[in-house]
Amino acid sequence: MAFRFGYLLLTLTLALTLALTAQVAEAQQKIAFGELNQDTTLPVQVTADQLAVNTADGTAVFSGNVVVTQGEMKLTAGEVKITYGTQQNDIESLAASGGVTVTNLGDAAEAQEAVYTIDTGMIVLSGEVLLTQGGSAMAGQKLSINLKDGTGVMEVG
């Protein structure tokens, strides 16, 4: 009887481990985004209704119908704060908020916020993320897109 109980306990432990592993695997989904390698050295162009520049901390805040383009990538938002590097035209990062949409060719991702770090080519979208690719859609809480290789990881939990 002790052998049977030990075998049953081992079987239940193995089943529980496999179930938990499957849940972790489902929490992250790898995806292709835009099916192209984006050249993150291309110029970044920004249009907006308003602009406020802070020379003391090297930032600029664009607000109202903000559209950011770089090559095939387009980002729209209610507000985008740009942090500049040591050179005036050297953009380090963009922090977007207020209904963010990122499109690249036929793919689109929507979220509440996004941060784009130019040097790494990474865009991290967070808050009620919705990714659409053709007729397919995927929802999650965080989407990390690597524009340099056209891939992304969706975190759904």
Beta strand 107-117 with 45-47 is unpaired
Q: What is the pLDDT of residues 56-78, one digit of tens each?
A: 888 999 999 999 999 888 999 99
> Quick one: pLDDT band at residue 7, thresholds 50, 70, 90?
very low
Which has the higher per-residue pLDDT, 16 or 138? 138
Q: Which helix (H) or strand (E) holds 59?
A: strand 59-70
Q: Which of 28-37, 62-71, 109-118, 129-138 shows the lowest per-residue confidence on average (mean pLDDT)? A: 28-37
Query: What does the alpha-carbon distance between residue 28 and residue 155 come to, in Å, rounded to a whole number?
Result: 5
> What's the confidence (pLDDT) of residue 107?
86
> What's the confidence (pLDDT) of residue 46?
95
Query: What does the alpha-carbon distance between residue 141 and residue 50 come to, in Å, rounded to a whole number?
Result: 30
> What's the confidence (pLDDT) of residue 31?
62
Per domain, the residue ranges of the chain are 2-155
> What's the confidence (pLDDT) of residue 18?
38
> Quick one: pLDDT band at residue 37, thresholds 50, 70, 90?
low
Query: What does the alpha-carbon distance between residue 18 and residue 94 come to, in Å, rounded to a whole number?
Result: 40
> Quick one: pLDDT band at residue 30, thresholds 50, 70, 90?
low
Q: What topology does CATH give the domain 2-155?
A: lipopolysaccharide transport protein A fold (2.60.450)
Mean per-residue pLDDT over the chain, rounded: 80
Q: Which of 90, 104, 105 is nearest to 143 (CA)?
A: 104
Q: What is the pLDDT of residues 127-151, one digit of tens each?
A: 999 999 888 899 999 999 888 888 8
